[in-house]
Every structure is written in C-alpha cells, then in structure tokens.
Structure 1
Amino acid sequence: MKLMHRVGWRRGVLVLAVATLLTAAAVQVLSDEPEIALMIGEPWEDMRQRSSASIGPAIPGRSWFSMPSSDARLRFIDPQYGFVTPLARFFTIGFDDELIDGVRISPQVEPLLLDDTLKVVLDLQEQWRDAGWTPIKLAYFPSFADTPQWRAQLRDVSKGGKTYWHAGNQYQVMLVVGRFKDKKRPTEERYLITLALATPWTNP
C-alpha cells in the first residue's frame, strides 16, 4: 500500500511539473511577442524605451507617423483603460512634435476567416467593457456580436461593420470590419479589422 501511495504521489508530482512547464512555456511565448507599449500624449522616446518591438525615432517639430520594424501587438498601458491586441502587421503610430497622438492598427497578420475575426473583435470589446469603456452612437453603430444578423452584415461586401467606444473624455477607439478579397485564397471569405485610437474626435 505504501509503495502504491508513493507511485501515485510521484505520478501526481510529475503531472503537476509537466503542467507547470507547459504553462510557463505558454507565458514565455506570449511574453516573447514583440509589442509596442504606449500612452496617448506621452513622449515618443518613452514608448521606444518601454517597447520590445523596434521603432524609429520621431522627427522633432513634425507631425507624422512611424511603424514598428516587425509584427507587434499593441499594449495600451493606461492604468484604467488599458487593453492588448493580437499581433499586427499593419501598425502606424502618429506623433506631433515628438508626442504620441494616435494609433491606427489592423490587429492581425493576415486576412482572417469570419469566426477568427469575430473572436478578435469580441475580445477587444470585452476588454473595453471590463476597463470601463462605453460604446457610443449605438443607434447607428451598434457593438459587434456573434449573431446571424451580424454575420450576414459582415458577409455583405457593401456593408461591413463599425463601432465607436469612449473611455470617459480621455480616449476614443473606432473598430471597423470589412470583407477583403485575398488573392492568396480567392475562394475563401476573408476579413480585415481596423482599429483607430486617439483622444476623442466625435461627441458621444
């Protein structure tokens, strides 16, 4: 009985150790993803020093934009309204006299299938809700949802979808989804997501 107990105990320890290693590996993979970590309005160099993705310096006295030198995810680090996106290939960060004034990003590395597109936008919306963001202009631009009506609208190349969210009077995001003709996969329905982030540019 003692021998069986020891074998069972050792097996349990081994399973726990493997699970711990797998979890650590998953965390390591996530932490190894290049990211741009920023705040709207902060000095450009603060973002560069904090971020693990490489991006060039801002141009003093100019209003322009720059892009990371690799795929990167956005980590918006506001202590209340922060959120994180998936890796992005299209990722522009605007500056005005070396201060960050806005972000435009497509949070994906390739055009996505509809199911994957909805996972991304619904996760972003959930992060915003949890952080206290509020959807605005709902009569015209309702929040995305995984419903037959939304799926039909997104499949319509002439419609797509758009939603706006405010973080108090500090920030605004616009989230847009549209069909995309992917030449690499001409028989598949693929979609592009666009996210714009800045100080509010529309009224609630």
Structure 2
Amino acid sequence: MTSRISPLNCRRWARLALCAILAMIAGRQLMQPLWGDPVIAVQMGGPYEYMEAHSTAPFSAWGRGSKSVSGGIPKVDARLRFVDPQYGFETPLARFFTVTFVRNLVDDIRMSPQIEPLLIDDAMKVVLDLQAQWCAKGWRPVGTRRYPTIADTPEWRAYLSPGVLQGHAYWQAGDKYQVMLILARFRDSRHPDQERYLITLDIGEAWRLFEEEEGRFEPHHSPPPPPKKGATPCPSQPS
C-alpha cells in the first residue's frame, strides 16, 4: 500500500515554508534601521544608555553591569557618529567596530571604517575624507616629526605598497581626544592578485604627550615620507 500526500497537505507545507522564509527576511530587516545607514552614536566618556538611545544600529554588549570593564560590537555594519558639539565627525560603514566601557562610560573605540579591505585609491579617499573632517572641526595632527600626516602622494603609495611598513598618524582635538590612524597593506585571500589596504582607528581621550617624547626616540630605520615643502595638513585652518 502506497501513501500519498494530498494536494491539501502540499499546500499547507508550502504555506509553512513560505511563512518561515518571510519570518527570516523580516528578522533581518528588523536588525536594520528604517532609513539611512545604521549608525552607532558614541559620546566619549558618555554612558552606555546615551549610545543606546541615539544609535540606529543594534548593539551586542558583554559585561554589562560590571564595575570595571565591559564592551560590545554592533550587530550590523554601521557608521561611527562621534558625538561632540565641536569635534564631532562620522565614518563610513564599518564591519570591525568595538566600543570599550569602564564603569559603563565609553573609554575607547577601535574600528576599521570600511566593510572590506580596499584598493589603494579607495583607501586613500577614506583617509583623506576623515582628515578633512578633523581639520574642519579643529582637530590637529600631532607627533608629526616622527609620524607625518598621511597624504595621497606617489611617495606614500610606494612606502605602503611592499606591505612591510604602515602609515601611522596621530590627530588631537584640543586636550580632549586623540585618534591613532593606521593605513597598512592587507593580504585579502579573496583577491590574492590585488593590493588591498586596511584602515584602523583607535579613538580615546588624549593619552600620548608627544612634547614629552621629543628627543627620546632613535631615528626610524625606514622613515615615512615627509610632507612636501610648504604643505599643511589643514590648509584652510590657522596653525
């Protein structure tokens, strides 16, 4: 005796399968904001609750309630909106993005403002846009004697291309915040025949006093390209 599946049962299973697929799609959509790119709004030194209330991207936190250190990451690719009435700026979408809290207050942000390793033209565009935002908001490059500001020049491209050396630059907002910006070649297994680059930002309160370090460093064995004569990283701003 052979069993048969009636057309009615087939339609029921088809409906159930369709409902399951729609539920999965809806679940993913709920993880995204209703409009615009997902944003994590961070106020340095501000509480977790501020970030939660002003962000449009869901956030996965660990160690909440801890009296010491906690942290978390966005659940989706998200922009950083660095909130400050004078020094605020915004990054492109980021996939690597972590926020560290000390006693529930934002202490450190580490991120790569991109969703994949970039070709050098695209990486330079991101770096130059960030530096332009910082210039416009009153940030200033610091430690330039040892860490000259990254520029889109043939010398900088040649310096980074072998994949051995990294571009480091430090920017500071008054006596409040400091950013370490790194641009380095990254071997991307998906594009083994291409030169891809990774940008890294480490943002926190001003932690490094370059004035106190002058004269203590030995000359770099392979110094990065110096800025061109007469060039200034923030030409539209007074020095």
Alignment TM class, shorter chain as reference: 0.7 to 0.9
Matching residue of 1:32: 36
Distance (Å, rounded) in 2 between the aligned partners of 1:56 and 1:176: 26
**Aligned residues: CA RMSD:** 1.3
Aligned equivalent of 1:59: 64
Aligned counterpart, 2:174: 168
Q: 1:108 aligns with which of 90, 106, 114?
A: 114
Task: Give the aligned partner of residue 196 of structure 1.
Answer: 202
Structure 1 distance, partners of 2:189, 2:42, is: 34
Could you say which residue in structure 1 is the equivalent of 2:154?
148
User: Any idea what the Cα deviations from partners look like across 1:152-183, whole Å, max 9, x if unmatched?
Assistant: 11112111201001100000000001111110
2:90 aligned to which of 84, 87, 101? 84
Q: Deviations over 1:86-123 (max 9, x none)?
A: 00000000001111111000000000000000000000
Task: Give 2:156's aligned amino acid.
Answer: W
Aligned length: 175
User: Which structure's CA Rg is the greater one?
Assistant: 2
Instruction: Look up the match of 1:41.
Output: 45
Moved over 3 A (4+): none
- Unaligned stretches of 5+ residues in structure 1: 1-28
Identity across matched positions, percent? 49
In the alignment, the residues of structure 2 paired with residue 186 and residue 45 of structure 1 have an alpha-carbon distance, to the nearest angstrom, of 43
Describe the superposition over 1:126-154 as per-residue Cα deviations: whole angstroms up to 9, x where unpaired: 00000000100101111111111111111
Structure 1 residue 65, shift from structure 2 partner: 1.7
Q: Take 1:89 and 1:80, find their aligned partners in 2: how far apart are those partners?
A: 26
Normalised TM-score (structure 1): 0.83
Q: Secondary structure at the match of 2:94?
A: coil
Is the contact between residue 59 and residue 97 of structure 1 (CA under 8 Å) also seen in structure 2? Answer: no
Secondary structure of 2:148's partner? Answer: coil
More helix by share: 1
Equivalent position SS for 1:56: strand
Other structure's SS at 2:59 match: coil
Residue 100 of structure 1 aligns to which amino acid in structure 2?
V
Give the deviation of 1:198 after TM superposition.
0.3
TM-score (normalised: structure 2): 0.71
CA distance in 1, matches of 2:118, 2:74: 21
